[in-house]
């Protein structure tokens, strides 16, 4: 008669592996949530940047000034005419604040802004980028450091 050898893990080995997995997951899951939040903030800023650029290029292509209105939870870009046309409208998941409480940015027909503005995401985060800056003809994204958007 053949002798069969049973191969299996003991209860102690299984319990040890479960304990190690529990410790690893307890460390990894909070970091993963933070990573997801940072990613969503970064995605929001990049989308906002794209919307502003689209409005800018629309104005240049049609040779008309554009008003970009940024509230805490929304962006709207309209032509600056007697009968305004909505170009861009988007809502934010994370609230945005702008320097000097500026909410209206006017771009002339050449895409040049009057003055400058810094806007950033209010949430505590490590996202890069987490802000954008509009200065005359230039629009940049960056990190919010000491009250300014640094590239």
Q: Please report the pLDDT score of residue 64 as a whole number.
A: 93
**Taking CA 133 as the corner, what is the angle to CA 150 and CA 73, rounded to the nearest 5 degrees?**
115
Please report the pLDDT score of residue 14 as a whole number: 92
Residue percentage of the chain with pLDDT more than 90: 32
Summarize pLDDT for 94-113 with one digit per residue, the tens.
Answer: 988 887 676 788 899 998 98
pLDDT in tens, 61-93: 999 999 998 888 889 999 988 888 999 999 989
- The pTM score is 0.77
Domains of the chain in start order, with CATH, are 12-150 (3.55.40.10)
Q: What is the pLDDT of residues 18-38, one digit of tens each?
A: 999 999 888 878 788 888 888
d(CA 70, CA 5): 72
Report pLDDT for 1.
64
pLDDT at 124 over 80: no
d(CA 46, CA 51): 9
β-partners of residue 6 are none
Which position has the token pair 């500026």? 102
Give the residue with greater pLDDT, 101 vs 42. 42
**Would you list the DSSP string of 50-119?**
HHHHHHHHHHHHHT--EEEEE-SSEEEEEESSSS--EEEEEE-SS-EEEGGG--EEEE-TTS-BSSEEEE
Q: Is the peptide bond before 19 cis (omega within 30 degrees of 0)?
A: no
């Amino acid at each position: 008669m053949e002798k069969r050898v049973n191969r299996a893990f003991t209860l102690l080995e299984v319990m040890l592996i479960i304990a190690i997995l529990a410790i690893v997951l307890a460390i990894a899951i909070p970091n993963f949530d933070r990573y997801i939040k940072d990613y969503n903030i970064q995605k929001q800023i990049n989308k906002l940047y794209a919307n502003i650029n689209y409005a800018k290029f629309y104005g240049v292509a049609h040779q008309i000034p554009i008003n970009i209105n940024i509230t805490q939870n929304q962006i709207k870009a309209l032509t600056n005419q007697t009968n305004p046309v909505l170009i861009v409208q988007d809502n934010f998941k994370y609230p945005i604040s702008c320097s000097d409480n500026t909410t209206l940015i006017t771009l002339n027909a050449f895409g040049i802004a009057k003055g400058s503005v810094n806007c950033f995401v209010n949430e505590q985060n490590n996202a890069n980028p987490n802000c954008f800056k509009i200065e005359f003809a230039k629009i940049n994204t960056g990190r919010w450091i000491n009250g300014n958007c640094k590239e």
